[in-house]
Structure 1
Amino acid sequence: MREPASQRQIARAVLTARGMARLAELREAGVTAATMSRMERDGEVLRLTRGLYQLPDAPLDAHHSLAEVAKRVPKGVVCLVSALPFHGLTDQLPSQIWLAIGQKDWSPNPDSTPIRVVRFTESLLSAGVETHLVEGVSVKVFGVAKTIADCFRYRNKIGLSVAIEGLQEALRQRKATPDAIARHAGRGAVATVIWPYLVALTADS
């Protein structure tokens, strides 16, 4: 028995408006899980991961995986080596999405898009956050100055060379001022670590 076409129309409207949607959002709009399963079977929607759907002809952004993760972990903030390429500070693309979450936040289950979780204190998690629209999804990403400071704070995890490259590019492209970077470094207790590099890179400018 075919379910009312209106459910499929509602599902398509929700997905068109939001880019991608979780099953919970579709249910709130009046679409059942059974309808979504049939739409997936009929090729009308794509199931990106468990409980997350998108239209098959939806335009894919270069940062598609960030939008997918933002839907899965709404409280998370894209950080470190995933924030660097988002801001155009490196050509290297990580094999997993680096995501900052709170100290007591639920850690996402492994899925099709691998996530590397980094736990931040509440004060550091709320500082320097920007919201960008990717495929109709609001994605939280740390700004350039905050990202650079965090890269030096987590240099043992990502490598000092990655942090230095990010700093060089941020200054060269004028995407962050030395003062803003130093300010975030101070909040993250890495001011003394980053200061010699800031001095060396701004000495000739």
Structure 2
Amino acid sequence: MEARRDSRSEMILLALPSTFTYSEARRSGLSEYRLYRLRDEGVIEVIGRGLFRRTDADAPVDIDLLTVARRAPMATLCLTSALARHGLTDEIPTTIDVALPRGAHRPTVPAPVTWHLFDPDTFGIGRTTVPLDEQTSIGLYDAQRSIIDAARLRHREGSELVYGALRRWLRRHGSSPSELLAMARQFPQAERTLREALEILL
């Protein structure tokens, strides 16, 4: 009888995505007892509050980003974290810079996150996504938007961040200051700073 229950649990588990929530597991037919027994047996691991991942999942993932993306679907890597991903800074942030639309819920996550609340009207400008596993992606601002955000928040992030990122971006083949400034027009607090910086660097 126990083997039959184990077999059924394994079938349910295989039907779930590699990363799943407690609610998804329960809706699929796993009892709370069986769910936590699978955890104790090492078949699944807890990666966040009410969030689980199969230990036999094929591809390795960034668990911190995965928990953030599952808790906040609009989460978008920004500022130093985004610039580092684009190879535009050598700074290694001590926390993950994540943007959400102003007014959105900031969930509690085990990952070291600094939340940034951006204007909902411009939140989607320059936003792309990066796949984390077969069903989960996280937002990522493109290089131009990341430079613009560094410029408009230079009083908090430091001027060297924007100057260093801009300098590297300009050295890249195909980088177009006119495209950067066209996007910056939608962020008046950044446009003047970027124009002045470009005059110095070009």
Quick check: TM above 0.5?
yes
Q: Unaligned stretches of 5+ in structure 2?
A: none
Cα distance in 1 for residues equivalent to 2:6 and 2:90: 48
Partner of 1:106: 105
2:48 matched residue in structure 1: 49
Distance 1:99 1:188 in 2: 19
Deviations 1:154-196 (A, max 9, x none): 1122111112122122222347421222122221111111112
Counterpart of 1:39? 38
Deviation at 1:76, TM superposition (A): 1.7
| Cα distance change on mapping 1:40 and 1:186 into 2, 3 Å | same
Measured after TM superposition, the shift of residue 119 of structure 1 is 0.9
Query: 1:11 maps to what in 2?
Result: 13
| Bigger mean CA offset, 173-182 vs 33-42 | 173-182
**Counterpart code for 1:8:** E
Give, in whole Å, the separation in 2 of the partners of 1:162 and 1:186. Answer: 20
In the other structure, the counterpart of 2:170 is 171
In the comparison of the two structures, how many residue pairs are matched? Answer: 197
Closer, same or farther in 2 for the Cα pair 1:35/1:170, shift >3 Å?
A: farther
Q: Aligned in 2, Cα 1:40/1:105: closer, same or farther, shift over 3 Å?
A: same
Question: Which residue number corresponds to residue 194 of structure 1?
Answer: 194
Preserved contact between residue 170 and residue 176 of structure 2 (Cα < 8 Å) = yes
State the identity %.
25
User: In structure 1, how many angstroms separate the alpha carbons of the residues matched to 2:142 and 2:195?
Assistant: 19
> What is the CA RMSD across the aligned residues, in angstroms?
2.2
Amino acid at match of 1:102: P
Q: Structure 1: where are the runs of 5+ without partners?
A: none
Matches within 5 A, 1:36-185: 36-58=35-57, 59-61=59-61, 63-109=62-108, 111-136=109-134, 137-174=136-173, 176-185=175-184
Q: Does 180-189 or 41-50 show the bigger shift?
A: 180-189
Partner of 1:29: 28
Q: Which amino acid aligns with 1:139?
A: I
TM-score, structure 2 length as denominator? 0.85
